A and B are shown apart, each in its own frame.
Chain A
């Protein structure tokens, strides 16, 4: 399907909008419906759309699977690291209150860090699943 002009033009126009909407869902998750998991799925779907329209080789050039594996691990590390940091600062595991000077600021910071970790892991894992199902030229 990579020779279709209409699909290519519309996808080029849409993929930035999809990424922007994913970031909106990510950072709006504190105030309304949304959050890390939903934002991760939307960002991953942008990669899947690129993979479907432009082919596996172009997708591997844009987001190498090695990066995606690092990103998936980094998200989990950020999540767990926030929990360990709260323990080291004297609270329970994932007790956000101790992260900053006031409990409210601590909750803010903790939730943003946790959701960022979830977004990194979910988006890279979803993109990775689709890209491994497509033919991968360089690594198994």
Chain B
């Protein structure tokens, strides 16, 4: 029981650290696309780590199955939202200042 608590707390802590790094990137990166990169990549892994930490905390059972379903849902929706945002920006004419041929 003690080991499970430690693993769960570790996963939650790493997830929170990921989110901090991601928000730092959103604040510090220069352009829209690099900010989107920071937000979109970190989003999925952080929520996955949170859900894994909660699953370890609750142990096998119905709650863990529900957490797994939420994880599968987020695994599809979060990159898709990021993709839609980037594509909408690109098709409405937003380009990085330095490079001509990005993507």
A129 within 8 A of B: no
Contact residues in B for A6 (Cβ distance below 8 Å) = 80, 83
Instruction: Decide if B76 touches A10 in the complex (CB within 8 Å).
Output: yes
> What chain A residues lie within 8 Å of B80 (beta carbons)?
6-7, 10
- B24: Cβ under 8 A from any A Cβ: no
Cβ distance A10 to chain B, nearest Cβ, rounded Å: 5
**Contact status B76-A14, CB under 8 Å:** yes
Q: Report the minimum CB–CB distance from B74 to chain A (whole Å).
A: 11
What 0/1 readout, one digit per residue, does chain B (70-98) give for beta carbons within 8 Å of chain A? 00010011001001100110000000000
Please give the number of chain A residues whose Cβ is less than 8 angstroms from any Cβ of chain B in the complex: 8
Contact among B73, B83, B88 with A17 in the assembled complex (CB-CB below 8 Å): B73
Is the CB of A61 closer than 8 A to any CB of chain B? no
Q: Render A24-59 as a binary contact track against B, CB cut-off 8 A, 1 for contact.
A: 000000000000000000000000000000000000
Do the beta carbons of A13 and B88 come within 8 Å of each other? no
17 A-B residue pairs with Cβ-Cβ distance under 8 Å, sorted by A, are: A1-B84, A1-B87, A1-B88, A4-B84, A4-B87, A6-B80, A6-B83, A7-B80, A7-B83, A7-B84, A10-B76, A10-B77, A10-B80, A13-B76, A14-B73, A14-B76, A14-B77
Interface of B with A (CB < 8 Å)? 73, 76-77, 80, 83-84, 87-88
In the A-B complex, the 5 residue pairs with the closest CB atoms: A10-B80, A6-B83, A10-B76, A7-B84, A4-B87
